């Protein structure tokens, strides 16, 4: 058994903090803590896996080729494989705490 608290030690300090909670088969779950960290200018994520991400605390702004949108606590989005996206903003007080689930389609 593994247990914890998603808000304990929820500080990112100088770099975004990523804690892998579990990896099982093609699925990975991470807790991510951001305190003002954003994607570098011109950088876009282009992942080989889908991503479900929800904001548990704080807020963030995501950008895709089609839209830019704000996420507040409780908001979630599913990002398909290879949908280019980037982080434009994350709150600092309180820190932005994300829960992200990644997976690959089984063929």
* Domain-wise residue ranges, the chain: 17-103
Can you give the pTM of this predicted structure? Answer: 0.91
* Spatial CB neighbours of 20, under 8 Å, sequence gap ≥ 6: 28, 29, 30
Residues 67-103 have pLDDT tens digits of 999 999 999 999 999 999 999 999 999 999 999 999 9
The span from the CA of 58 to the CA of 28, in Å, is 23
Average model confidence (pLDDT) for the chain?
Answer: 94
Strand-pair category, 50-57 with 27-34: unpaired
CA dihedral 79, 82, 84, 88 (to 10 degrees): 50
Residue 16 contacts residue 32 (beta carbons within 8 Å):
yes
Q: Supply the pLDDT for residue 106.
A: 66
pLDDT tops 70 at residue 107: no
| Cα 39 → chain centroid | 12
Q: 17-103 has which CATH code?
A: 2.60.120.10
């Amino acid at each position: 058994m593994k247990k914890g608290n998603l808000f304990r030690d929820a500080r990112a300090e100088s770099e975004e903090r990523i804690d892998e909670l579990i990896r099982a088969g093609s699925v990975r779950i991470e807790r991510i803590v951001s305190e003002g960290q954003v994607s570098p200018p011109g950088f876009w994520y282009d992942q080989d896996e889908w991503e479900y991400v929800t904001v548990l605390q704080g807020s963030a702004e995501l950008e895709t080729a089609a839209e830019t949108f704000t996420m507040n606590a409780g908001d979630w989005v599913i990002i398909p494989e290879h949908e280019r996206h980037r982080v434009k903003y994350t709150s600092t007080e309180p820190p932005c705490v994300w829960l992200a689930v990644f997976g690959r389609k089984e063929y």
